[in-house]
Amino acid sequence: MDRIDRESVAPIIRTRCFGRHLVCLDATSSTNNVARAMALEGAPEGTLVLAEEQRAGRGRLGRRWLAPPGGCLLMSLLLRPPIPPSEAFALTILAGTATARAVERATGLPCQLKWPNDVLVRGRKMAGILCEMSATGDRLDWAVLGIGLNVNLDPALYPEIAATATSVSHELGRSLPRLLLLATLLDELEADYFRFLRDGLAAIRSEWRRRLATLGQWVSVEDGAHYGLAEDVDETGALLLRQSDGTLVRVTVGDAALEYPPGP
C-alpha cells in the first residue's frame, strides 16, 4: 500500500501552485475542517490537505463520507478566487469536470458525472466532491474543494455503499498508486482553475454538460420533492426538470436519484 506522507507526496507534485503548500496527516476529523481552519489563519491559495484517515468525513447534504484508511484519496484544496459568491457554482462545475477527466486520464476508465458533480464509472460513484466557502459582501474569502476518491477498496465489504459505489481497483481488477491519481488530479484541477479565471467557464461548462449522465433521465431530487425528466442545465449550473404536467422546474441543490419514467 502506498503511503500518503510528505516524503512521498512532495516529489510527485508537478503543479506550480496547487499542493505547493502541503499538509499530510495520518488521521483527522475531516480534511475540509483542517483546510477551513487554515483558510481562516491566512493560508495561501493552493494549500493542499491530505489524510490517510478521516474520523468524521463529510459528504454533501450533511451526509457522512465513508473511507476505509489507506483505500481512498482524501484531499482538500484551498482556493481564493477573485469572484463574487454568485459565481461560486463555477467551482463545483470545474471540480467535477477536472476530477472526471483526471480519473479518465490516469485509469483509462470512462467517467461521467451525476448532477452536480459525483464522478460515476459504469453508473456507480467513484468520487464525491464537497465545496465549502465563505464570503464577505460581494467577494469570496475562500473556498475549499474537498474530494474523496475511491482508489483501492472493495465496495462489497461495506454494506452502506456496496450497491452504489465503485473504486479504481474494483473497475480495473488491480490496484493503482494513489499518488499517480493525486498528481493527475492536481494537474487537471490547476489547469481548469486558471483557465476559468482567465477565459471564463464556457469551455469547462460544456465539458461538464457533456459528461452529465443525469441529462435525459427521469430523476427525483430531494426524496421526490421534485420529479421529472432532466432536460438540461442552465447558465448557473441549476438542473432543469420537465415535470409530468409539462412545467419546467429549476433545481439548485440536492441529489438527483434515477427514477423510472411515469407509467402510462
Return the C-alpha cell found at 220: 427525483
Binding mask 132-171 for ligand BTN (x = CB under 6 A): --------------xxx-----------------------
Nearer to ligand BTN, 148 or 228 (CB): 148
Q: What's the rounded Cα separation, in Å, for the pair 71 and 118? A: 18
DSSP annotation of 157: G
Neighbours of 205 (CB within 10 A): 19
> Is residue 77 at the binding interface for ligand BTN, with CB under 6 A as the rule?
no
Residue in 59, 69, 85, 177 binding ligand BTN, rule: CB under 6 A: 59
Q: What's the rounded Cα separation, in Å, for the pair 184 and 168? A: 14
Residue in 63, 139, 210, 250 binding ligand BTN, rule: CB under 6 A: 63
Q: What's the rounded Cα separation, in Å, for the pair 53 and 96? A: 22
Binding mask 98-137 for ligand BTN (x = CB under 6 A): --------------------x---------xxx-------
Reference 197, options 96, 94, 99, 103; nearest CA is 94
Nearer to ligand BTN, 25 or 172 (CB): 25
Nearer to ligand BTN, 35 or 229 (CB): 35
Residue in 18, 23, 43, 65 binding ligand BTN, rule: CB under 6 A: 65
Strand bridging mode 239-242 / 248-251: antiparallel
Amino acid at 90: A
| Non-local CB neighbours of 220 within 8 Å, separated by 6+ positions | 226, 227, 256, 257, 259
Reference 164, options 129, 130, 122; nearest CA is 122
> Is residue 74 at the binding interface for ligand BTN, with CB under 6 A as the rule?
yes
Half-sphere exposure of 44 (CA within 13 A, CB side): 8
Nearer to ligand BTN, 112 or 242 (CB): 112
Residue in 54, 166, 167, 214 binding ligand BTN, rule: CB under 6 A: 54
> Is residue 58 at the binding interface for ligand BTN, with CB under 6 A as the rule?
yes
We find the least distance from the C-beta atom of residue 67 to ligand BTN, in angstroms, to be: 6
We find the least distance from the C-beta atom of residue 260 to ligand BTN, in angstroms, to be: 24
List residues near ligand BTN by CB under 6 A.
30-32, 54, 57-60, 63, 65, 74-76, 118, 128-130, 146-148
